[in-house]
Structure 1
Amino acid sequence: MQSLPGFRDFLPEECARRNYIFARWREVARRYSFVEWEGPPLEATELYKKKSGAEIVDQLFNFTDKGEREVALRPELTPTLARVVAAHEREFKKPLKWFSIGQFFRYEKQQRGRLREHFQLNCDILGEAGLAADIELVALCIDVLRAFGFGEKDFVVRISDREFWTDFLREKDVPVDRWDGLLQAIDKFGREPREKTAEKLGKLADPVFTTLKTGGKSEKLGKFVDGLRVFGLADFVSIDIGIVRGLAYYTGIVFEVFDRAGKFRAVAGGGRYDNLIGQLSDSSVSLPALGFAMGDVVLGELIQEIPHVCQGMEKAIANDRKIDIYIVIAKEERRADALKQIQQLRDRGYRVDYPLAPTKVARQFQAAEEAGASLAVLYGDEWPQLKIKNMATAEQELISQLA
């Protein structure tokens, strides 16, 4: 029996790569003083129907549970975060800088860079309305990718301002209830046939296409880039007014990260969602917020694409897999003594392995080499002395006991 379509089995090699990604995510988020949190994988379906937009709702893994509740596996984290913060915001000093690493599910067509489950890093800042928070968040996103070894020649952060387009629609006297659909159509410009986008936009097609071609002017985005320039990160970003983001709750600056070669889907994306917490709390809590998500599927593909980044990952994984000591049991009557020593070493934090069954000595030394052990310790004819072999230099010595 095989796994379900769009779902992955993580064998040791794949699991090591996944954990490498998780470790880099966690390391950089903590470097920026973000604290980790987590939400449940299952939520009320209504949470997504109210706040995520029609496209996400159509992709839900949802069902009726045994308590007759309509529930869904989470397709994203932001609605959960907004729900949690709306309920507990008085318990925390502002601004909040939170991150999470979790698994998410969307029932959608499988294609390159898109499965039906994925893991993603979510980083959010809550309680700060100023542009400095937007700059900090994008700086974090850039540094996360730099931690893997990517440089400015490998990826670009395309930034935009959703308010630019809501102002545009307001000037055109477009009813507010049509905005979400039109913004989604603009967001898909270039990713679907021009005729299809024009059909969705109707009379707005020509002015929208002209604006996308000429580019829009935004003082806010100019200040944003200047802020990143102070960090020395301006070369990683470009203004692209065509970035809108498809989710309905975005309100201000939005951004997406792409590889420079244009081979892959967006590596990451996010933006401001200042109204979402208020909407979920029936206006009892008003808190500006912004965040981004970075998925493991496209990121993993991009790592494999860039040779020096891939080599860095494989080297780190190989080093992490190495053990400190391999205990060679040459005489089975010494096994009990060896096991006692093994437990003492493990209690002190050393990575130790040994043969679970009687094995030829040559094969045990081979196992020590394959495990990347620094030392091999032989329990044999020399007992109560131990023979120590440095696996890197092949030097050997006799000692009375392990230090």
Structure 2
Amino acid sequence: MSSGGIRGLTGFRDFFPEELALRRHIFSAWRRVGARYGFTEYDGPPLEALELYTRKSGEEIVGQLYEFEDKGGRAVALRPEMTPTFARMIAARAAGLPKPVRWFSIPQLFRYERPQRGRLREHFQLNMDIVGETNPLADAEIISAGIDALRELGLGAADIVVRISDRRLIGALLDAHGISAEDHVPVFGALDRLEKEGEDGVRGRLAEYGVEKEVATRLLAAIRQPLEELAAAHAGDEAVAAAADRLSTVFAHLDATGFADFVRFDAGLVRGLAYYTGTVFEIWDRRDELRAICGGGRYDDLLKALGGVDLPALGFGMGDVVLTELLRDRGLAPDAARRVDDYIVCVSDAERPLALGLARALRDRGRRVLYDLRPRGVGRQFKAAHQAGAGRAIVLGPQEVERGVAVLRDMASGEEREVAIETLAGPRPDETRGEEVR
């Protein structure tokens, strides 16, 4: 490293103007969708008590956190996820909140992981959660919101797919195949590796948990079936039938919403996190070139464990890192070219005071205005206007100013016309009694 040169930390991003423009584009789309679905935005502190995360995920999570002891001797951590903070906040006001609660947030999260494509040590994430509702329509609603958060950015059914399953269904399936309840969590974890390791890899993992080869083969064959076939094959099992019926209802709601082309049943999807209790889902790009864009599901017991409030809940997290990669791959990143509305060109320095007053008047009307900060020739000022992406140039010359007019040039077409300076500036917004000034 050169003397005095300090590089950014590995896994953290600098948001130069073009990167920040894309981030704001994503956040704006997320907020529009949140509003359309009736969600209210919230936020919490980026620093929390370490116990908030170990209580949810166990001591093993500590190695993935930015954790330390603060100056008061308290064990704290930068937030790696939003759900524990969400649970704490819901618990604090649970009695007074009208149900169901619909909240969303866009926090910055931190994890000490090995950086790779689609995963960094910090990222922003859309979190959307519904609390206080058990009806399958709530499951379809939260999945629909996730789909629309991506549709709003230009992604369609040809770009993304939602893989949906249900932990109750897979748990009942494990019971039906003779796998004991105490082995469900590790078996869930093994099944969650199916896409990465294939059936042979998962069989090996299942063998470690005492699952016989024949049972593993039948189980893997079962989870490869469509939902209707899986339910029919286990028609005599009430638990399987009930869970399959509920999940079928979720799919029916999504179909009625118009999202049938976006979703598919995937019994191999169980999501390794132990706190999920029902519907689980992930959103992937159709080409399978990236990591999951979004993941979530129903966690009916978590709020009680973390906040002491017994309320059903479900939600998802959608990270900006993978999504940014996908938007760029699909050519959907916005044009980050610099853009201003007006560039004021002074033919001589004598017009400078008028230019400053005009700029103030135009800015008061909400227009984005630039002018040169030092005397330069007209040609160089027009070049600067082009570089700034100005929509129009307002030329102030001595002869025109004497007549009370300015030359207005359309920077795209090159067409010019004279406009009265008084008309160009127009009244300030507070003088129009709220009337929109165009």
> What's the TM-score, normalizing by structure 1?
0.91
Q: Which residue of 2 aligns with 1:77?
A: 82
**Displacement after TM superposition at 1:227 (Å):** 0.9
Aligned equivalents of 2:189 and 2:366: distance in 1? Answer: 53
Q: Distance in 2 between matches of 1:199 and 1:43?
A: 39
Task: Find the partner of 2:318 among 280, 294, 297.
Answer: 294
- Structure-1 residue corresponding to 2:219: 211
Contact 1:376 1:390 in 2 (8 A): yes
Residue 277 of structure 2: SS of its match in structure 1?
Answer: coil
For residue 187 of structure 1, report the CA deviation from its aligned partner.
1.4
- The question of whether the paired residues in 2 share the 8 Å contact of 1:256 and 1:268 is answered with yes
* Cα distance change, pair 276–73 in 1 and its aligned pair in 2 (3 A): same
Rg larger for: 2
Q: Match for residue 392 of structure 1?
A: 412
For residues 185 and 216 of structure 2, the distance between their equivalents in structure 1, rounded to whole angstroms, comes to 15
Tell whether 2:141 aligns with 1:99. Answer: no
| 1:247 aligned to which of 273, 282, 285 | 273
Letter in structure 2 aligned against 1:380: G
Partner of 2:13: 8
| Distance in 2 of aligned mates of 1:110 and 1:238 | 30
Flag the 1:391–1:74 CA change in 2: closer, same or farther, 3 A: same
Corresponding residue for 2:384?
Answer: 367
The verdict on how the C-alpha distance between 1:276 and 1:359 changes in structure 2, with shifts beyond 3 A counting, is: same
Pick one of 296, 300, 318 that aligns with 1:270.
296
CA distance in 2, matches of 1:397, 1:156: 52
Q: Deviations over 1:282-330 (max 9, x none)?
A: 3xx2111110111111111111222xxx2x4334x44xx4221111122
Q: CA deviation at 1:251?
A: 0.9
Q: 1:173: Cα distance to partner?
A: 6.2
Work out whether residues 56 and 75 of structure 1, in 8 Å CA contact, stay in contact via their aligned partners in 2.
no
8 A Cα contact 1:51 1:248, kept in partner? no
In 2, Cα distance between equivalents of 1:54 and 1:160: 28
Counterpart-to-counterpart distance in 2, 1:55 and 1:391: 60
Partners of 1:266 and 1:298 within 8 A in 2? yes
In 1, the alpha carbon distance for the partners of 2:222 and 2:39 equals 38
Cα deviation for residue 281 of structure 1 reads 3.0
Deviations 1:32-76, CA, capped at 9 Å, x for gaps: 111111111111111111113566443111111111111111111
Secondary structure, aligned partner of 2:394: strand
Q: Which moved more, 1:342-351 or 1:202-211?
A: 202-211
TM-score (norm 2): 0.84
Report the identity percentage: 48
Q: Please, which runs of 5 or more residues in structure 2 have no aligned partner?
A: 1-5, 224-229, 232-243, 427-438
Rounded to whole Å, the distance in 2 between the matches of 1:253 and 1:205 is 28
Amino acid of the structure 2 residue aligned with 1:238:
R
Give, in whole Å, the separation in 2 of the partners of 1:205 and 1:260: 34
Per-residue deviation at 1:86?
Answer: 0.7
In structure 2, the CA distance between the partners of 1:155 and 1:400, relative to structure 1 (3 Å rule), is closer
Give structure 1 stretches of 5+ with no counterpart: none
Alignment of structure 1 residues 11-160 onto 2, 5 Å: 11-53=16-58, 56-160=61-165
**2: distance between equivalents of 1:380 and 1:341?**
14
Of stretches 160-169 and 203-212 in structure 1, the one that deviates more from structure 2 is 203-212
* Secondary structure of the structure 1 residue equivalent to 2:104: strand
Structure 1 consecutive aligned stretches of length 4 or more whose deviation exceeds 6 Å? none
What are the Cα deviations for residues 77-113 of structure 1, in whole angstroms up to 9, with x where unaligned?
Answer: 1111011101111232111111111211111122221
User: C-alpha distance in 2, partners of 1:32/1:244?
Assistant: 27
Work out the CA distance in 1 between the residues paired with 2:170 and 2:54: 23
Specify the code of the residue in structure 2 equivalent to 1:383: V
Taking a change above 3 Å as real, the CA distance of residues 224 and 120 of structure 1, as seen in their structure-2 partners, is same
Matching residue of 1:322: 339
Contact kept? 1:187, 1:245, Cα under 8 Å: yes
1:162 aligns with: 167
- Report how far residue 371 of structure 1 moved: 2.3
| Aligned-residue offset at 1:118 | 0.9
Task: State the distance in 1 between where 2:220 and 2:324 align.
Answer: 31
- Contact 1:272/1:290 (<8 A) preserved: yes
CA contact (8 A) 1:157 1:257 kept: yes
Alpha-carbon contact 1:221-1:239 (below 8 Å) kept: no
Corresponding position: 1:230 with 2:287: no
Tell me how far 1:191 sits from its aligned partner: 1.8
Verify the 8 A CA contact 1:135 1:224 in the aligned structure 2. Answer: yes
Structure 1, 216-225 or 50-59: larger mean CA deviation: 50-59
* Distance (Å, rounded) in 1 between the aligned partners of 2:144 and 2:58: 28
Amino acid at match of 1:253: T
- The question of whether the paired residues in 1 share the 8 Å contact of 2:303 and 2:310 is answered with yes
**Quick one: which amino acid aligns to residue 211 of structure 2?**
L
The match for 1:256 is: 282
Tell me how large the CA RMSD over aligned residues is.
Answer: 2.1
1:220 to 225, 246, 250: 246
| Residues 104-161 of structure 1, C-alpha deviations (whole Å, 9 max, x = no match) | 1111122221111111111111111111110011111111111122221211100010
